[in-house]
Amino acid sequence: MPHAHNDPMPPAGAPTRRAPHAGVSPVPGASAAPAGRGPIAGWPARQRPRERLLLLGAEPLADAELLAVLLRSGPSGSDAVQLAQAVLAEFGGWHPLLAAERDTFCARRGLGPAQWAALQAAKEIVRRSALEQLDGRQALTSPAQVRRFLTLWLRDRPAESFVGLFVDSQHRVITALELFRGTLSQTAVYPREVARQALRLNAAAVIFAHNHPSGVAEPSAADRLLTDTLRGVLAQIDVGVLDHLIVAGNQCVSFAERGWL
C-alpha cells in the first residue's frame, strides 16, 4: 500500500517574500536605458544586457537584464528588458517564475514555449552542476552541500516531489532520482518501489527528501510515519536511511539532526 504524507499549511499571517529588484544595474560610463527607447540592438553596446554580461560577467547584472538575455526579445512595442521587468514583477520573483507551469508561463503576452524551454534548461543545468559537485564526494562529510543540492532541486516545485539520493558503501553518490510526484499537499510513496530502485542501483544507503509547497518545513506526523516505514522495508535488504530532509523555500529540516533516525 502507498503511504501518503500531508504538507502542513502555512499559519495565518505568515510573511510573504518581497520580489527581488528587477531594474537595470548602472555601469560606469553608462546609464540605464529609458523605457520606450526601441529595440535593444539600437542601444549603445555598454547598455545591452548581453554585451554587459560579456564585459563584466553575469554577477553585476540586474535580475531583469539576466532574464532579458534568456528571453532575447520582447513583444512589439517593448524590448526584452522591459518584458523581463514586467514578468518578474507579475510572477513575484525568480522562484515562482521558474516553477511556473508551461501553460501559465506562455499565457503571458511576449512569452512562449521557446522562452519557457530556455528557463527550464538553465534550471536543469544548475541542478546537474550541483549534482556533479556531490559526485565522488563523501555525502556524510559534506551535509551542507547535500542540503544546498536538495534545496536547489526542490524549492521551486509547485507540487510535492519525493526524491532519493542513493549512495554506495563509501557514501559516494550513485545518483539522485525523483521517485514520486504528488499534488500541492501530498504524495503517495510506495516503499516497495523504493526498495526496487535501491536494489537496481546496488545502493548501500539513501537520503530521502521531499518539498512542502506550502512553505512550512515542519515535518508532519505522516512524514515521520513514512520515514519509519521506509527504514523498516529497506533494512530487510541491508540498505540504510541516512536522512530525510524537508524543503520549503530556502528552509531545510533534517530528521537526522533532530535525532529521529
Give the pairing type, strands 240-248 and 205-211: parallel
Q: Give percent of the chain above pLDDT 90.
A: 47
Interatomic CA distance for residues 60 and 71, integer angstroms: 18
> How many other C-beta atoms can be found within 10 angstroms of the C-beta atom of residue 256?
15
Q: Considering the domain 135-254, what is its CATH architecture?
A: 3-Layer(aba) Sandwich (3.40)
User: According to the model, what pLDDT value does residue 219 have?
Assistant: 92
**Mean per-residue pLDDT of the chain:** 82
pTM above 0.85, yes or no: no
The residue ranking higher by pLDDT, 89 or 37, is: 89
Determine the 3-state secondary structure of 172 from DSSP: strand
Which amino acid, residue 249?
A: G
- Three-class DSSP category at 40: helix
Q: State pLDDT tens for residues 8-38.
A: 655 544 444 444 444 444 433 333 444 446 6
| Mean of pLDDT values over 217-236 | 94
Query: What pLDDT is stored for residue 203 in this prediction?
Result: 96
Closest CA to 189 of 171, 168, 153, 163: 163
Q: Mind listing the pLDDT tens digit for each residue in 155-183?
A: 878 789 999 999 999 888 898 999 998 77
Residue 78 in grid coordinates: 517593448
Q: Which residues pair with 243 in a beta bridge?
A: 207
Does the pLDDT value for residue 55 go beyond 50?
yes
- Could you give the CA distance from residue 203 to residue 67 in angstroms, rounded to a whole number? 40
Question: Per the structure block, which three cell numbers stand in for 205?
Answer: 544507503
Reported as a pLDDT band with limits 50, 70 and 90, residue 47 is: confident
State the sign of the Cα–Cα–Cα–Cα dihedral 233, 239, 242, 247. Answer: negative
Residue 65 has pLDDT above 70, yes or no: yes
CATH code 3.40.140.10 region(s) in the chain: 135-254
* pLDDT of the residue at 14: 46
Residue type, 152: L
State which of 125-129, 134-138, 142-146, 199-203 shows the largest mean pLDDT: 199-203
Q: Which residues of 205-237 are buried (b: 16+ CB within 10 A; e: fewer)?
A: bbbbbbbbbbbbbebbebbeebbeebbebbeee
Q: CB of 160 within 8 A of CB of 182? A: yes
CB 111 within 8 A of CB 84: no
CA 130 from centroid of its chain's CA atoms: 11
Mean pLDDT value of segment 95-106: 88
